[in-house]
């Protein structure tokens, strides 16, 4: 892991951060109204506890720009290269824009879980940054709002949310030796309780 400033490619990270900030400008998180850009920043900070690979960290900063901000993979490829674009693509859901998000939620989440279970480690690092950032927000908001929290989500069923986050814990278990994965697993259990035994 990097210990010195010179271990980081600041030029790439600065470009990725500025690009993400521009694309997410004026967008806010669902429950708290916090500016959205803090989420990819936190995702990248989590990823940086696992790797100092500049392209992985840039992908963590950019992980939502295709899925949520209308950026094309080709635009990412031109600005940040093939590998960054590919890592972002691996973290981007097929939103099925012609259908209500509530109706496609389970399909999209199952696709994400299935894909990540066999994905390369670098893609899992980007995903862990994203999912841990999300789970931290869920845990904080759950303490404030309790079960009413789920009203702001496309899927309002806490059992389905539990299924998704527990499934993600297993899909990302290749990273189970990292503090970030352990924190993720602990937060999932704190919010949803221990996984039921078969």
Q: Which residues does the annotation mark as catalytic?
A: 67-68
- Give CA separation, 57 vs 25, 32, 62, 181, 185, in Å: 20, 25, 9, 17, 22
CA gap 96, 117 in Å, rounded: 22
CA distances from 54 to 30, 84, 108, 193 (A): 29, 9, 28, 36
**Distance, CA of 94 to CA of 111 (rounded, Å):** 9
For the stretch 64-81, what's the b/e string if a residue is b when 16 or more beta carbons lie within 10 angstroms of its beta carbon? bbbeebebeeeebbeebe
Q: Token pair for residue 110?
A: 């199952």
Q: Are 96 and 108 in contact (CB under 8 A)?
A: yes
* Distance from the Cα of residue 125 to its chain's centroid: 9
């Amino acid at each position: 892991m990097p210990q010195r400033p010179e271990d980081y490619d600041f030029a790439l990270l600065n470009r990725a951060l500025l690009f993400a900030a521009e694309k997410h400008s004026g967008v806010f998180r669902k429950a708290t109204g916090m500016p959205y850009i803090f989420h990819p920043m936190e995702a990248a900070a989590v990823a940086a506890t696992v790797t100092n690979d500049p392209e992985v960290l840039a992908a963590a900063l950019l992980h939502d720009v295709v899925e949520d901000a209308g950026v094309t993979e080709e635009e990412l490829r031109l600005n940040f290269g093939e590998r960054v674009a590919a890592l972002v693509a691996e973290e981007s859901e097929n939103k099925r824009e012609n259908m209500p998000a509530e109706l496609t939620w389970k399909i999209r989440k199952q696709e994400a879980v299935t894909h990540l279970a066999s994905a390369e480690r670098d893609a899992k690092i980007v995903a862990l940054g994203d999912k841990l950032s999300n789970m931290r927000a869920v845990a904080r908001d759950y303490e404030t709002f309790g079960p009413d929290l789920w009203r702001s989500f496309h899927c309002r069923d806490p059992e389905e949310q539990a299924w998704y986050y527990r499934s993600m814990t297993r899909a990302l278990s290749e990273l189970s030796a990292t503090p970030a994965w352990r924190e993720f697993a602990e937060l999932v259990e704190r919010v949803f309780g221990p996984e039921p035994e078969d």
